[in-house]
Amino acid sequence: MKILIWFLVWINLGLLVLFNSDLVLPTATTISRHEIYPEKIQLLSSEQIAALPKRIDHEVGAPPPTTTACFVWGNFSNNNIREAQNAITKLGIKTSSINATILSLSNLTEQQLMAVKQLQSKFPQTDLNQVTCP
């Protein structure tokens, strides 16, 4: 009798797994394979590459890039803050001085933020912190 009950339990578990295998196992991915036509492949010279149309990251007439946030960049020494202000001005970013060692950067786009982060590597002793925009 015990053997029969265990047999029925195992059959029940087996059927449960069989009918719910789509939930348990990952689905098979379908990769669409595009045919490659080797006779259509051609090498381009540097002149032909230069003549190709340039890629535009954003469409003409599209809204300007969205602002990410405002940041406070600080703990500069007196000499370094002038260098940082000059570099930020060259990037076209609005800044204001909170005090002698802290700069406030407002309405940064994603590209400007990346440029500021690269610039921050020149001033490793400084901190760049996100704040709410006024």
Q: Give the pLDDT of residue 8.
A: 94
Instruction: Measure the CA–CA gap between 76 and 53, rounded to whole angstroms.
Output: 44
Instruction: Measure the CA–CA gap between 100 and 98, rounded to whole angstroms.
Output: 7
Q: Give the pLDDT of residue 33.
A: 67
Mean pLDDT value across residues 31-46: 78
pLDDT digits (tens, 9 = 90+) for 80-103: 878 888 888 888 887 777 776 777
Instruction: Measure the CA–CA gap between 23 and 17, rounded to whole angstroms.
Output: 9
pLDDT digits (tens, 9 = 90+) for 7-17: 999 999 999 88
What are 115's two structure tokens? 């440029």
Q: Which residue has the higher pLDDT, 26 or 93?
A: 93
pLDDT at residue 5 greater than cutoff 90: yes
